[in-house]
């Protein structure tokens, strides 16, 4: 299960990432969550803060969805004052309380019917250990290496080293943010591809995943770029992205 440890909330997606102890909030509320609360479906966590508190904190509404979200949110203070970036972690052992579909449970159910780990459905070569898909797998690494070589970065191969490295992948502020968004998109798209192959018997070449990731990251960078641009005028975040891709 991929969980997000929210730092300043600038990249974690409020509705879709697993950053509270309740799983992705969109799974709790369904599509009506963003609609009822007025926080758009692609918002990052930082966008949900108003003057150091959650945007819903002063709402008097008795709407069930609003109350549920308010009760699910952690203390806003540490996030609004944080200066560290959000990080994404793979937590194999932790069962996070969630009413939603749990990837970890699916994984365990699938493993239970095998004596040895099944062969990875992405590369059909290696055994699918929990860490293999990120990015030990030849399919995943084709995706990841494409982005790393364009960005001229050289992350360590080992999973834990990779997570440490991800805290500060580049001295350049914009590149750092881009790498984190790419990493997040890679985890999401590769996991989605794996599940599509298992559950729907649909498979896509690595190039299709790369294309999807580019669109995802670009869509995330657009609003962030506008926010950053009010502070810097010389080069934009999106401009940095287009200089690489
Ligand atoms: Zn593989």
Which residue shows structure tokens 């500060």?
Answer: 168
pLDDT tens-digit profile of 66-75? 988 988 899 9
Q: How far is residue 24's CA from residue 6's CA, in Å, rounded to a whole number?
A: 13
Read off φ and ψ for residue 38, nearest 5 degrees: 80, 10
From residue 190, alpha-carbon distances to 8, 13, 150, 235 in Å are 25, 18, 19, 31
| Ligand 1: centre distance to CA 116 (Å) | 15
Query: Ligand 1 centre from 122 Cα, in Å?
Result: 5
**How high is the pLDDT of residue 228?**
66
Task: Check whether the bond before 121 is cis (ω within 30° of 0).
Answer: no
Q: How far is the CA of 192 from the centre of ligand 1 (A)?
A: 14
Residues around the ion ligand 1 (C-beta < 5 A): 120, 122-123, 126, 137
Q: Which residues contact 177 (CB under 8 A, 6 or more apart)?
A: 10, 11, 85, 224, 237
Q: How far is the CA of 29 from the centre of ligand 1 (A)?
A: 34
3-state DSSP call for residue 2?
A: strand
| Predicted pLDDT at 43 | 92
Closest CA to 142 of 204, 91, 201: 204
pTM value > 0.75: no
Q: How far, in Å, is the centroid of ligand 1 from the Cα of 200?
A: 18
Distance from residue 98's CA to the centre of ligand 1 (Å): 28
Q: How far is CA 101 from CA 15, 26, 30, 108, 210, in A?
A: 15, 12, 13, 13, 25
pLDDT value of position 99: 28
pLDDT at 232: 54
Distance 134 CA to ligand 1 centre (A): 9
Each domain of the chain, given as residue ranges in start order, spans 2-80, 114-244
What one-character DSSP code corresponds to residue 28? H
Which stretches of the chain are assigned E, i.e. beta strand?
Answer: 2-5, 49-50, 53-54, 87-90
Residues (pLDDT < 50) of the chain are: 93-116
Centre of ligand 1 from the C-alpha of residue 70, in Å: 40
C-alpha 100 – ligand 1 centre gap (Å): 26
**Can you state the percent helix, strand and coil of the chain, rounding each to 5?**
50, 5, 45
Q: How many Å lie between the centroid of ligand 1 and the Cα of residue 170? A: 28
């Amino acid at each position: 299960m991929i969980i997000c440890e929210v730092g300043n909330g600038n990249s974690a997606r409020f509705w879709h990432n697993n950053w509270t102890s309740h799983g992705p909030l969109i799974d709790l509320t369904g599509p009506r969550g963003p609609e009822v609360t007025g926080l758009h479906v692609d918002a990052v966590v930082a966008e949900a803060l108003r003057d150091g508190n959650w945007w819903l904190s002063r709402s008097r509404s008795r709407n069930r969805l609003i109350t549920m979200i308010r009760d699910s949110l952690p203390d806003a203070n540490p996030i609004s004052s944080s200066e560290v970036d959000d990080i994404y972690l793979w937590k194999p052992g932790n069962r996070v309380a969630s009413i939603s579909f749990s990837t970890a449970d699916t994984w365990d159910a699938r493993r239970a019917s095998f004596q040895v780990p099944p062969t990875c459905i992405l590369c059909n070569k290696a055994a699918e250990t929990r860490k293999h898909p990120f990015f030990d797998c030849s399919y995943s690494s084709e995706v990841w290496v494409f982005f790393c070589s364009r960005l001229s970065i050289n992350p360590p191969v080992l999973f834990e080293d990779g997570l440490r490295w991800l805290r500060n992948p580049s001295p350049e502020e914009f590149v750092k943010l881009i790498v984190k968004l790419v990493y997040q998109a890679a985890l999401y798209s590769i996991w989605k591809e794996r599940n599509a192959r298992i559950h729907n018997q649909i498979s896509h070449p690595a190039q299709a995943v790369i294309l999807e990731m580019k669109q995802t990251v670009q869509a995330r960078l657009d609003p962030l770029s506008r926010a950053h641009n009010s502070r810097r005028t010389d080069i934009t975040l999106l401009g940095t992205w287009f200089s690489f891709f």
